[in-house]
Structure 1
Amino acid sequence: MKNNQCRVLLFTADAQFGDRWVAELKPLADNDADAPLALSFHHTDSEGLADHLRCGETQVVVVDDTGASSEAIESTRQTLQRQRAEIDCVLLTDADSPRADNFECVISRAESNYGVVYRTLRRILLERISTPFADALREYVYAARDSWHTPGHSSGDSLSTSPWIADFYRFMGEHIFNTDLSVSVKMLDSLMDPISVIHQAQQSTARTFGAAHSYFVTNGTSTSNKIVLQHLLRAGDRVIVDRNCHKSVHHAMIISGALPVYLESSVNQQYGIYGPVPKAEIFSAIDANPGARLLVLTSCTYDGLRYDLKPIIDRAHAAGIFVLIDEAWYAHGRFHPELRPTALECGADFVTQSTHKMLSAFSQASMIHVGDFSWRKRDGGSHQSAEASVFDTAGFREDINMHTSTSPQYGMIASLDVARKQMSIEGYSVLSRTLAFADEIRRFVDDSTAFRSLNAEDLCGPDLAADGIRLDPTKVTIDVGCAGVSAPAAQARLFAEFGIQVEKNTHNTLSFLVTIGTTESKVLRLKQALRRLSEDAGQADATAYVISQRGQKLPPLSSIDALPRRAYFARGEKLTWQGEGRAALIGRIACDEVVPYPPGIPLLVPGQRISAEILDAIIAFTSERADLEMHGLRRVGALPALRVLTECEATAAVAELRVAQDSESTEAWQAWA
């Protein structure tokens, strides 16, 4: 018997018809020995629908419209989509009705040839589980064609026979090398100009994730963000952006020459965590910048905090502002009702996702999803234009190509194709298991250790109490400082003694990422390790605990006094903070981003005035957090330093920014539109 069971459910109030429908289709499925999946057929009325939707094997729902109004049928379809966005909805009807437009396909209720019905339903599922690019790659590899093209290792032959590096070939496995091909292989399509299997895979991805268009990116969401901002922005365009967004967004503004309007995030000093921007501040920035081109927010954050996006996106669209949501940490959100709505479902125009962070794709494998721009197409809308009605696919492709290698990693592309398939067919099941694991860990921490798991209220604080912020349960943050334990010391113990690598830590918290790859054994080992840490809490190293209690204060945003592009490309000068140098740095304008990593949130961005609080935070992170990387620091001899504008450069940069800020934003908007 096949293990890959797929349940086809008939939703009908006519139990007698349902019995006959199932009885006709069951033997056809039982006798289809060659099918790559096993179909089982069931029927239910409204009372049993919820139970069937909670079953991960339910993949197709056929809605019988006999005796039901159009409103009732549409309500049923919407219920199905809210609970299980990935499943296919089919309409069973006797009428040629416009209500069929919202369904995957339509089947006649009077169809007497049940072979046709069976093949139609099987085709729908086969299309969902197909992986056009991965299948073509497998076919090419198994054909064992001779390589007279790049890459130079020639399917691994340069390694497999070498006495010096054959061990690496054996360690990595042959398919790592024989799937490493090039654009010379025409049957595998081109990521630069996809017209066949990559194009088909991206179309399937768009359907699965609810996008109008989806694009594969092989250099991470960092590159995805740069592509979107390059597509939308030109020099001088205003961008409303969370100051604490990922460094890639700041890089993109340097490249474009855009004028950032920075939003200050909420800061939880107790745990050393940046939270979302308060909704009132976002609304105020939208109202105060009528000519803004783009709003950029991160949802969910590294720590799992999610905005109530719908009212924010609606407010931005009403002002004619495009919206990019960085969902790097939320690619899984569409596939379980507890995690929805996603940014696309809330109306975002562009969404970037790190498919590798939470789903089954290789590192660097990411996606860009594009919305439908319906807010710009509405009749009578104030933002209609030639650009408004049609997404510029050709222009967007050029922006992608500017950031994409002409030699992409084909295994990475295949992993995106396969990750999409998995979530389309079993996303609900694997996420139900994942969420159960996360809940189990939280309950164990709270009931059986001296530590405490943190919820959305703990992480957000009172400033966001009324903003509808939710927590992605797969990000489990544990307060170990409450038991007198230093989080960096606990992280080191987990790794050295228990073989456990955490996602990140602050001075008093540990963050664990619960993914679809989490298993029962991993959960058991984590619980044992946390129990041991808890039992030893009273014996914690006193010095480490003092540092943990002091922590690193997260500084408030200081003024932006130069365009990021001008500051970054200035020659500048390097100043160290050692000795009397600290006083000389305070008040100067930074040329570089200074970013503790993880999580990649800048303490300084180009063009920002260096305050005493920011400088002290940089010094503290650098001297006390050896577990972190600090990006953007320079050196003066052996001493760490910051690159800042010279006094002459600063005078010119401040004057330039003042001109940009004083320009008539409304007129600029009208000129563009």
Structure 2
Amino acid sequence: MADDGMATTKGSIGEYYSAVQLRADRWTALRQTLEAAARHGPKARGAAKLAAKAEALLDSLTPIEAYWAFPGRAAFEHMRRQLAHGHLDDAAHLVRRAARALTSGAYRRRHIPLSIEDAEAEEMEDESTLSVEARALVRPYFEVLVVDDISEHQERWLRASLQRARRPEDAFVYEIVVVPSLEDALIGILFNHNIQAVIVRPGLRLKSENRLTVLTRYLNRVGEDEDVDALSPEDYGPELCRLVSKVRPELDAYLVTDRSVEDIAGMDLGHCRRVFYNQEDFLELHLNILRGVNSRYKTPFFTALKEYSKQPTGVFHAMPISRGKSISRSHWIQDMGAFYGPNIFLAETSATSGGLDSLLEPHGPIKKAQEYAARAFGAKQTFFATNGTSTCNKIVVQALVRPGDIVLVDRDCHKSHHYGMVLAGAEVVYLDSYPLSQYSMYGAVPLREIKHALLKLKAAGKLDRVRMLLLTNCTFDGIVYNVERVVEECLAIKRDLVFLWDEAWFAFARFGPTYRQRTAMAVANTLRQKLREPDYAKAHARHAKALEGADDEKLLETRLMAPPDARVRVYATQSTHKTLTSLRQGSMIHVNDQDFKGEVEQSFHEAYMTHTSTSPNYQIIASLDVGRRQVELEGFEMVQRQVEAAMSMRRAIATHPLLNKYFKLLTAGDMIPEAYRESGVQSYYSSSQGWTDIWESWASDEFVLDATRVTLAVGGTGWDGDTFKNAILMERHGIQINKTSRNTVLFMTNIGTTRSSVAYLIEVLVGVAKELDDRLDDASRMERLAFERRVKSLTEDLPPLPDFSRFHAAFRRDENSPEGDIRRAFFLAYDEKNCDYMPLDGEIDRVVRSGAEVVSASFVIPYPPGFPILVPGQVISEEILAFMRALDVSEIHGYRPDLGLRVFTDAALSIEAGAALRRAAE
């Protein structure tokens, strides 16, 4: 990446992954430089050098500030004039105010005067002292991007026209940013997270004059398939509206045009809310802008719950805690009331009337809240859940899968899916992910493996029974599928296959343009549109003709096209509480199924009723409603900052020599085999090449690595992952993480992660490395050898990860395909006489090596990694036994150390095998 000629301050431009971080650091550097210059005075030694540095910083900020409303062009030029005239005190004062307002966000809450007279007259207010209640009373602030190539005089007129339309009763306040071109508009909406609406006027041009690399690379996010250079000038406006909808679908766009109604009517304007002809009515435009933002700001259920809490009611139903009565009347639990405050109890009820609604049969504010969530996440229907994504997974499986249906399942998916298969009576084909044995973790299931399983079932005459493909996207460790390719190629083999994508850890992805393209709902909408296009039908006809008579190997090697009449049937389950704002166990089910209304709706309703409590927690539902509001209005900003924090962490770890001595930052090259990285991207940052623009790999590769998951190999410290997590991070430093493997720990940034949090983590890791250095420096020869042996056992002597073996013949219909009836095996184990225990002391090895089949009677789930290494009905292999012995975890569900593995008796297997043969004959 080019440095763009700016290396006079802390960090060159090329060192920044994000233009937002660059902007923040440049303002801080400018403030520090001008304060130093003001302290020393204009005649002091080095004053000229400081002034030149400040001028260079202003120059570097000039193209950046063109995309932001605060501090604004006039104030920015005023600062430059103060510096040019040698008024260092005044310049430093103005820059300090602007920088402080940018850091604290104060400009969003009140007017920040940036003229000397106004600034001196105003009392300084410390924004950090404002209470939550005080901030809640401030009208929310946003910015509107106006796209038009106009003069400064015309811009002032436009700004004044919109300001005159403001009214005291307006719910929001906004400022405008004016840019001249289509490219500048795209840079602006991807750079400035304050923008909530775009006004496209007829005078815009195509190209930007900005050549700052850190900004112009945002244009990559638009996609290589967009040929804007071929547009005629009259099409710039409508095309920009479409591109805004593609890149940031949550934004409102307004088109001002002088073209005829007939010309505009046939054009794709994306989500354009309103077209104004010839000359906009500024009051009407102003009202439309506020109305558009308000449509996203509304929280139907949260608002209803707040109103309910204000009502004086008599409680003559369940829940003594309702209205807080059982607490306020107590002599012993007043501390609970003091801790939580009154509102949570005033809003606690089991009533579904009084302005509230029923989660099981929503007709009011919950129904409306779910509709808003569907809009936000790109779904056709969205359903709230208050007991986690585990329940969501079971609801979807039970609604869609009938006993005897075949389901292809990612073997290392969350345990709720395996139990869901039991409840639904599915016959399961387990798919193996590629192993990363050196880090004791799995990656994801290669597309070739999925296609091979489908083609094998087709050859066995069982494709009609194949119902669903179930995959985890993204995995806990951050491996993300090419969702569009998986769906399209699988539909080419089975045109009505249902897809369930477990996006428990990926709800945030909808609100980052790079990430969105790999989400289930975005892909479903893209494919539904693609399959309807006439050109696609022609391309598919040519494709089908070229593959006539092709064997399986040819089909496995070819990128397949779904037939135009394929049915797009996609479901996603998301743990909103894991990656967005929601109380614990708040989750959502998103549906984009062309056959939902005709085939699934009734069964889905029954499954939802089966698994959803009749007494759902209203606070969780309200938090889902508010969390949706947040991501529609500031999800783009928060995800942007989340990725920035992770990238900063990656760079800090990768470039620190002491950390590299004991830790290894796992890159895309470490976690994704080369065969699945068509782009060739090895890492997101290297000291030799700088930052990699991840868009290319996310657009093309079979698998990519979620940048917000930072996996650190800790085997070089001599501590295993679990010990490092608990004894070092948590007990000593209060750092909490979720996931470890035998020799790795996983750090996840989220929408609440700050740069300070990242700095603290790096400080802790450096402290650990220094401690190890000191300990080894004083170690005896035997202590050093012991350390080296521990390191070797954690970095070299690692057992290979076992693949799924197979289901025993007693739980399969025949020998021709791998599906197994996990439900029969599960319930067969309910009878104790069908089961026995075999200890891991060598006896089981002798039996397995003799050729006898030992079959698991239960799920066996070690933590970590947290997924079943054995399921009911699975034949136990030597590789699985070796892996279990190598595990040094303290928690293995389904395994009793005092007894051993629970297995089926030979007699039980023999009876079941005979029953299976009789069923096959029938």
TM (norm. structure 1) is 0.88
Q: Does 2:457 align with 1:193?
A: no
Verify the 8 A CA contact 1:183 1:407 in the aligned structure 2: no
- 1:257 is displaced (CA, Å) by 1.1
In structure 2, the residue matched to 1:305 is 479
In structure 2, the residue matched to 1:453 is 665
Q: Structure 1 unaligned runs (5+)? A: 374-386, 664-673
| Partners of 1:286 and 1:18 in 2: CA distance | 60
Match of 2:824 among 553, 561, 566: 566
Q: Residue 505 of structure 1: SS of its match in structure 2?
A: coil
Amino acid paired to 2:428: P
- 1:117 is displaced (CA, Å) by 2.0
Deviates more, 1:171-180 or 1:313-322: 171-180
Deviates more, 1:322-331 or 1:311-320: 311-320
Q: Does 2:541 align with 1:329?
A: no
- Closer/same/farther in 2, CA of residues 249 and 111 from structure 1, 3 Å limit: same
Q: Deviations over 1:308-338 (max 9, x none)?
A: 1111101222312111111111000011123
Match of 1:76 among 231, 236, 240: 240
Q: Residue 345 of structure 1: SS of its match in structure 2?
A: helix
Q: Deviations over 1:376-409 (max 9, x none)?
A: xxxxxxxxxxx47746434322221111000001
| Partners of 1:10 and 1:298 in 2: CA distance | 41
| Partners of 1:579 and 1:431 in 2: CA distance | 50
Q: Structure 2 unaligned runs (5+)? A: 1-109, 111-137, 205-231, 458-462, 525-568, 679-700, 777-785, 812-820
Q: Does 2:400 align with 1:253?
A: no
In structure 1, the residue matched to 2:744 is 509
Matches within 5 A, 1:380-419: 387=595, 390=598, 392-419=600-627
- Closer/same/farther in 2, CA of residues 494 and 309 from structure 1, 3 Å limit: same
- Closer/same/farther in 2, CA of residues 504 and 136 from structure 1, 3 Å limit: same
Amino acid paired to 2:804: L
Amino acid paired to 2:748: L
Matches within 5 A, 1:165-204: 165-204=333-372
Match of 1:468 among 702, 709, 715: 702
Q: Does 2:790 align with 1:528?
A: no
| Partners of 1:423 and 1:660 in 2: CA distance | 52
Q: Residue 363 of structure 2: SS of its match in structure 1?
A: coil
Q: Does 2:720 align with 1:486?
A: yes
In structure 1, the residue matched to 2:903 is 644
- 1:224 is displaced (CA, Å) by 0.8
Q: Does 2:27 align with 1:27?
A: no
- 1:306 is displaced (CA, Å) by 0.2
Verify the 8 A CA contact 1:243 1:262 in the aligned structure 2: yes
Match of 1:8 among 144, 154, 163: 144
Q: How many residues align?
A: 641
Q: Residue 589 of structure 1: SS of its match in structure 2?
A: coil
Amino acid paired to 2:906: E
Q: Does 2:343 align with 1:343?
A: no
| Partners of 1:527 and 1:642 in 2: CA distance | 42
- 1:454 is displaced (CA, Å) by 1.2
Identity %: 33
Match of 1:575 among 837, 841, 844: 837
- 1:22 is displaced (CA, Å) by 4.1
| Partners of 1:370 and 1:265 in 2: CA distance | 26
- 1:581 is displaced (CA, Å) by 4.6
Amino acid paired to 1:478: L
Matches within 5 A, 1:149-160: 149-160=317-328
| Partners of 2:574 and 2:916 in 1: CA distance | 33
Q: Deviations over 1:163-215 (max 9, x none)?
A: 33332333344334333321444421010011110011111111111111111
- 1:18 is displaced (CA, Å) by 7.1
Matches within 5 A, 1:253-292: 253-289=421-457, 290-291=463-464, 292=466
Deviates more, 1:580-589 or 1:324-333: 580-589
- 1:151 is displaced (CA, Å) by 1.6
Q: Deviations over 1:318-370 (max 9, x none)?
A: 31211111111100001112323122112261011110111111111111111
Verify the 8 A CA contact 1:441 1:523 in the aligned structure 2: yes
Q: Residue 735 of structure 2: SS of its match in structure 1?
A: coil
Amino acid paired to 1:591: A
- Closer/same/farther in 2, CA of residues 599 and 190 from structure 1, 3 Å limit: farther
Amino acid paired to 1:27: R
Please tell me the root mean square deviation across aligned C-alpha atoms, in Å: 2.8
Verify the 8 A CA contact 2:310 2:346 in the aligned structure 1: no
Q: Deviations over 1:515-557 (max 9, x none)?
A: 1111233222211111111223344883754653445642221
In structure 2, the residue matched to 1:666 is none
Q: Residue 372 of structure 2: SS of its match in structure 1?
A: helix
- 1:116 is displaced (CA, Å) by 2.1
In structure 1, the residue matched to 2:176 is 41
Q: Residue 133 of structure 1: SS of its match in structure 2?
A: helix
Q: Does 2:790 align with 1:548?
A: no
| Partners of 1:490 and 1:147 in 2: CA distance | 51
- Closer/same/farther in 2, CA of residues 365 and 657 from structure 1, 3 Å limit: farther
Higher helix share: 2
- 1:85 is displaced (CA, Å) by 2.8
Match of 2:889 among 625, 635, 644: 625
In structure 2, the residue matched to 1:381 is none
- 1:599 is displaced (CA, Å) by 4.8
In structure 2, the residue matched to 1:89 is 253
Deviates more, 1:276-285 or 1:297-306: 276-285
Verify the 8 A CA contact 1:508 1:551 in the aligned structure 2: no
Amino acid paired to 1:473: A
Deviates more, 1:598-607 or 1:574-583: 574-583
- Closer/same/farther in 2, CA of residues 112 and 457 from structure 1, 3 Å limit: closer
In structure 2, the residue matched to 1:382 is none
- Closer/same/farther in 2, CA of residues 316 and 556 from structure 1, 3 Å limit: same
- 1:46 is displaced (CA, Å) by 1.5
- 1:647 is displaced (CA, Å) by 2.0
Amino acid paired to 1:62: I
Verify the 8 A CA contact 1:268 1:461 in the aligned structure 2: no
| Partners of 1:585 and 1:129 in 2: CA distance | 65
Q: Does 2:484 align with 1:237?
A: no
Verify the 8 A CA contact 1:133 1:188 in the aligned structure 2: yes
- 1:302 is displaced (CA, Å) by 0.2
| Partners of 2:236 and 2:473 in 1: CA distance | 34
| Partners of 2:598 and 2:269 in 1: CA distance | 22
| Partners of 1:43 and 1:662 in 2: CA distance | 75
Verify the 8 A CA contact 1:356 1:365 in the aligned structure 2: yes
- Closer/same/farther in 2, CA of residues 601 and 50 from structure 1, 3 Å limit: same
In structure 1, the residue matched to 2:867 is 601
Q: Residue 296 of structure 1: SS of its match in structure 2?
A: strand
Amino acid paired to 1:457: G
Verify the 8 A CA contact 1:358 1:516 in the aligned structure 2: yes
Match of 2:730 among 473, 485, 495: 495
| Partners of 1:33 and 1:560 in 2: CA distance | 70
- 1:619 is displaced (CA, Å) by 4.0
Verify the 8 A CA contact 1:224 1:366 in the aligned structure 2: yes
- Closer/same/farther in 2, CA of residues 39 and 164 from structure 1, 3 Å limit: same
Amino acid paired to 1:56: H
Q: Does 2:470 align with 1:224?
A: no
Verify the 8 A CA contact 1:485 1:537 in the aligned structure 2: no
Q: Residue 99 of structure 1: SS of its match in structure 2?
A: coil
Q: Does 2:199 align with 1:62?
A: yes
| Partners of 1:544 and 1:164 in 2: CA distance | 52
| Partners of 1:475 and 1:645 in 2: CA distance | 40
Match of 2:876 among 610, 624, 638: 610
Amino acid paired to 2:409: V
Q: Does 2:772 align with 1:537?
A: yes
| Partners of 2:498 and 2:707 in 1: CA distance | 29
- 1:27 is displaced (CA, Å) by 2.3
| Partners of 2:746 and 2:169 in 1: CA distance | 46
In structure 2, the residue matched to 1:369 is 590
Greater RCO, 1 or 2 (C-alpha within 8 Å, sep 6+)? 1
Q: Deviations over 1:37-78 (max 9, x none)?
A: 212234432242133211001111233468968975564344
Amino acid paired to 1:92: V
